[in-house]
Amino acid sequence: MVILTLAAMSVDVAAQSLSLNTISTIAKSDPLVITGAVGTQNTYRYSSVGTGYASPMSNSIYANLNISVYGISMPFALYFTNDGLDWNYPHLTFHLTPAYKNWRGHFGQSTMAFSSYVMNTSFNGVGLEYNSERIRAGAFYGVLRSAVNDDPTDPFARMPQYKRVGWGFKAGYGTGRNYIDVYFLRAYDRPSSIDDTWRRYISPQENIAIGVKGALAPTKWLSFTGNVATSLFSTDTDAPKLDTLATPAASRFSNGIMDIRYSSMARFAGDVNVNLTFPGISGSITYRIVQPDYTSLGTYYMANNYHSLGVSLNTMLFRKISLAGNFSGQSDNLTDQQMYTTKGFIYSAMASTRIGNHFNISAGYNGYTQVQSDGTARVNDTIKVHRRTSSFTCTPSYMTDNETLAHMASISFNYTSNKDLNKFAIGESDVKTTAIGANYTMSVKPWNTDFGITLSNQQSLGYKTKYVSRIATFNTGHTFFEANPLNVSGSISMIYNEVERQSKSLNIGGDISASYTLKQYHVFTTSASFYKYGDVNPTKLRSNLDRTDITVSLNYAYTFSLFAIKRKDDASIYQKKWLKKATEISEGFSE
């Protein structure tokens, strides 16, 4: 009876009737399997210059557990972390995602795929998704952001923020090159979640965001894709509401979901693509626009007030040489209300080929040009922004492998120029950088040992300045044992930096790490690093390495199978009777 109840719970979410196939699948699954993992990560840091740039100690403890009942998967996780020694702001998360066939539930801290213009953050709440070959649907409710409500009288109080709550849904149909998806999000701040003192400085916000994504492929060589969204956003929910009688348009939105206020604004964002594919060549044209002040409370920071147009092309010559090119232009100040308008142009070209069985070479160029023009104010020619950045790269590499040794060697060249094109400029911000690097690794297979060496030299020339950086690193690794492997690796490095006629510095040190796996369930890892660094005395030709950084990390993870009731290969008489009875019930539902 319990087994039948579980089957009904997992399948009848959408009021579907039980089927013989569903019952057979459940009957063939293991009745109960519980697996999981627990672990801890601990890091200690010491620096002779203080702990301003990093906490002296950070610790975390986590636990993952997955419960599978007749094929119904219910994983969840607990995670506790803290930086520092005082444990002021510990962080605890919970996550449970039961899944069965096309259904997936979300409980706790979860994520759900939405349009990038509507929501790309996680939520702490509940959600349900259905994904089949052609039909998609989902809904959620939860907290998008926790409140920060420290004591207003504390001089070291954190920046306050409201508790942000959201709910939304999505639905879609189609697959591959032809589909359409619709997204909806309602998000708002809870004013009571912070102290009234803080509310004098920050205002609660709310918004509705609606998005549509889709693709259409009328032919094999032509396809269209699009992703558009609109957002109704209020910067202050304490602002007065619009009079819906005096403003009839506002009444169409003030339907109990969100009130239109004097702080409300409606904005649009989206992109469309035209994709072309022919034998040996492919390309695309992309247009994107994000209106000024476009905001969705379900997304992280998003650049706005710009539109762009881009073209890309890829091809293969003689089945050996791969070529790719891209060009795009972008302009801001869409409403002509900024003081100045800025346009940017990005362009790149890349080529790569393979010669023989061991040699590869790739080369590329990347460029960016920025131009400033008039907006509400006229640009002063003497301070006008007009810059160009160009970068050339070339990387040849050689690889060979046999039963005993494996070798890989590569050399990289890079030249970058950042130039001010203003005709009144004298080159104060111009920089030219040349970088050369070499890398070699060798694997000795009978010894289970790897060796590697990396060398690099970088030189930057600016206005009356010269900067040089040289780095040399040697690393090695070895694997002990076979049944319970122990992996040990280490490296030694030296870094020399010089600003001509100003300073010279040297950094020497190394790190070592070890990882041991015991009986495939226990994994112990530890690492330590030690570096001495400081200024190099240019007159006495000696190093004054009076600063020290030490880092030690200890980690442990244990994966386990806590409990399992396995299905017997030969069904018992009871199982056969149960399956026969369940089949009769299923046939009754079907009728």
CA dihedral 235, 240, 244, 246 (to 10 degrees): -110
For residue 580, is pLDDT > 70?
A: no
Q: Please check whether residue 320 is in contact with residue 354, taking contact to mean a CB–CB distance below 8 angstroms.
A: yes
572 pLDDT above the threshold of 50: no
Give the tens place of pLDDT for each residue, 130-159.
999 999 999 999 999 999 888 888 888 888
Owner of token pair 């104060």: 428
- Helices (H), ranges, 410-539: none
- Residue 165: which pLDDT band, with cuts at 50, 70 and 90? very high
What is d(CA 147, CA 124) in angstroms, rounded to the nearest whole number?
Answer: 13
Contacts made by residues 82-85, CB under 8 angstroms, sequence distance 24+: 82/58, 83/55, 83/57, 83/58, 84/55, 84/56, 84/57, 84/58, 85/56, 85/57
Q: How would you label 425-460 residue by residue, b for 16+ Cβ within 10 Å and e otherwise?
A: beeeebbebebebebebebeeeeeebebebebebeb
Model confidence at 542, pLDDT cuts 50, 70, 90, reads: low
Question: Taking every pair of C-alpha atoms in the chain, what is the biggest distance, in angstroms?
Answer: 97
What pLDDT band is residue 175 in, cutting at 50, 70 and 90? confident
What one-character-per-residue DSSP string does 396-409 give?
EEEEEE-SSEEEEE
Beta strands in 235-376 (DSSP E): 264-278, 281-290, 306-317, 321-332, 340-355, 359-374
| 417 or 540, higher pLDDT | 417
Among 246-255, 301-310, 528-537, the range with the most confident prediction by mean pLDDT is 301-310
* 208 φ, ψ (degrees, to nearest 5): -120, 130
What pLDDT, on the 0 to 100 scale, is given for residue 17?
32
Q: Which of 13-27, 103-117, 231-245, 564-578 shows the highest mean pLDDT?
A: 103-117
With contact defined as beta carbons under 8 Å apart, do 109 and 143 qualify? no
Decide which of 28 and 387 is more confident.
Answer: 387
| pLDDT for residue 16 | 31
User: Which range, of 147-156, 502-511, 524-533, 572-581, averages the lowest pLDDT?
Assistant: 572-581
Flag whether pLDDT at 490 surpasses 60: yes
For residue 19, pLDDT beyond 90 = no
Over range 249-263, report the average pLDDT: 69
Of 149-158, 244-253, 384-393, 431-440, give the lowest mean pLDDT range: 244-253
CA 65 to chain centre: 24
Strand, coil or helix: 210: strand
Tens digits of residue pLDDT in 91-120: 556 777 888 889 999 988 899 999 999 999
Q: What percent of the chain has pLDDT over 70?
A: 85
pLDDT-derived band at 6 (thresholds 50, 70, 90) equals: very low
**Structure-token pair, residue 13:** 């979410």
- The amino acid that residue 554 corresponds to is L
Q: What is the H or E stretch that residue 454 is in?
A: strand 449-462
Query: Per residue in 219-243, pLDDT tens?
Result: 999 999 999 999 999 999 999 988 7
Q: Where are the domains of the chain?
A: 101-272
What pLDDT, on the 0 to 100 scale, is given for residue 578? 46
pLDDT > 90: percent of the chain: 57
- Average pLDDT taken over every residue of the chain: 85
**Confidence grade of residue 49 (pLDDT, cut at 50, 70, 90):** confident
∠ CA(573), CA(578), CA(584), 5° rounding?
A: 130
pLDDT of residue 97: 82
Where helices occur in 100-258 by DSSP H, the ranges are 196-199, 248-251
Q: What is the pLDDT of residue 20?
A: 36
Residue 301 or residue 85, greater confidence? 301
How many whole angstroms separate alpha carbon 455 and alpha carbon 41? 32
> What pLDDT is attached to residue 55?
73
